[in-house]
């Protein structure tokens, strides 16, 4: 590493931090996959003796990639969720000034991996367990104003960021050429329409990236636990369900997705009307998955093309959702024309 790398010398920093935090010596530091993010890395730290045998070090430093907005620190949100009984990794120490957190090692069994070998009954049980976390999150409030997540919203600005990313890199990948100014304007107009619909919905706490790779099967106590928490904010009640049930990494059939969503809908604190719930679910699918489609191409442009294998299914979500809602707003109908495919056929 060069001295200009913000992660230069991270192994030595972690050894010193572990010793200061829990009085243990480090045997090995293994970098885990970064997920394509330039400013955040994760390491599995193996200790020479004692318990725990391993822990996860989270290092957040440097500048986010273009189009990625800064997020709050992991604390105090993690502690807030833990205090309210939500399953999150325990904190073993850290140094906020240097962007370092030492966390419980939950293991490598993500929901995505568990689903690979699950039979139909196990699959349903796993999804029901994951879905049950959503109303628990949505019932939380912070009357003292101590947790920054409750001061953040999935608002018009964030929808504009998603639109910018899709207009900049998603459209070019989809069309096979640079998008015209008119085509980009169509994207912004459609996302503005969706932002307006989302703003009129109840605003509840959302994990914001509640997908199969961010739910890990904890060893003790057994059960799914949430990671990658720092992006939490207030959003429409359907948002986390869109992340989970319209996941790019595990693709559910439309009928399975609809059944799980409808099963959970009455359990949400606001128990949204079925029609409004379904409409917002599709609208949020469009913006969330269009952003993800763009993200996979952005990461590929930075040198990791492996993420492109998730792009076709992700675009399919956008097109099918547009096909269901395009008739409700001319701005959505125009977007359906621009991106083509299933959106024009339904």
Q: Where are the domains of the chain?
A: 10-104, 111-345
Q: What is the CATH number of domain 10-104?
A: 3.30.200.20
Instruction: Report which secondary-structure segment, H or E, holds 188.
Output: helix 181-199
User: Band of the pLDDT at 1, cuts 50, 70, 90?
Assistant: very low
Judged against a pLDDT cut of 60, whether residue 65 lies above it is answered with yes
**pTM, rounded to two decimals:** 0.93
**Whole-number average pLDDT of the chain:** 93
State the pLDDT at residue 340: 87
Please report the beta strands in the chain, taking only residues with DSSP state E, as ranges in sequence order: 26-31, 40-47, 54-60, 91-95, 100-104, 204-206, 215-218, 223-226, 233-235
Per CATH, domain 111-345 is 3.90.1200.10 = yes
pLDDT of res. 68:
67
In this model, does residue 168 exceed pLDDT 70?
yes
Share of the chain above pLDDT 70, in %: 94
Cα distance between residue 40 and residue 28, in whole Å: 20
CB 289 within 8 A of CB 243: no
């Amino acid at each position: 590493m060069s001295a200009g790398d913000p992660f230069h010398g991270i192994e030595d920093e972690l050894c010193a931090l572990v010793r200061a935090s829990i009085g243990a010596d480090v045997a090995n530091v293994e970098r885990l996959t970064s997920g394509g993010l330039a400013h955040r890395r994760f390491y599995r730290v193996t200790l020479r003796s004692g318990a725990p045998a391993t822990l996860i070090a989270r290092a957040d430093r440097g500048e986010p990639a273009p189009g990625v907005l800064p997020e709050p620190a992991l604390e105090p949100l993690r502690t807030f969720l833990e205090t309210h009984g939500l399953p999150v990794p325990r904190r073993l120490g850290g140094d906020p000034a240097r962007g370092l957190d030492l966390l419980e090692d939950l293991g490598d069994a993500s929901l995505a991996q568990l689903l690979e070998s699950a039979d139909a009954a196990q699959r349903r049980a796993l999804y029901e367990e994951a879905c049950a976390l959503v109303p628990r999150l949505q019932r939380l409030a912070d009357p003292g104003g101590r947790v920054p997540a409750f001061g953040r919203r999935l608002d018009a600005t964030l929808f504009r960021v998603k639109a910018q990313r899709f207009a900049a890199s998603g459209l070019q990948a989809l069309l096979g050429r640079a998008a015209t100014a008119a085509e980009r304007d169509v994207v912004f107009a459609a996302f503005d329409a969706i932002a307006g619909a989302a703003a009129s919905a109840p605003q509840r706490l959302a994990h914001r990236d509640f997908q199969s790779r961010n739910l890990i099967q904890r060893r003790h106590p057994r059960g799914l636990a949430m990671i990658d928490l720092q992006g939490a904010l207030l959003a429409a009640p359907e948002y986390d369900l869109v992340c989970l049930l319209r996941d790019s990494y595990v693709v559910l059939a439309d009928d399975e997705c609809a059944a799980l969503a409808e099963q959970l809908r009455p359990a949400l604190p606001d128990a949204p009307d079925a029609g409004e719930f379904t409409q917002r679910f599709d609208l949020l699918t469009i913006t969330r998955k269009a952003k993800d489609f763009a993200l996979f191409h952005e990461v590929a442009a930075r040198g990791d093309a492996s993420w492109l294998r998730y792009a076709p299914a992700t675009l399919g979500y956008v097109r099918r959702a547009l096909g269901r809602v395009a008739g409700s707003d001319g701005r959505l109908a125009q977007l359906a024309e621009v991106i083509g495919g299933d959106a024009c056929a339904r």
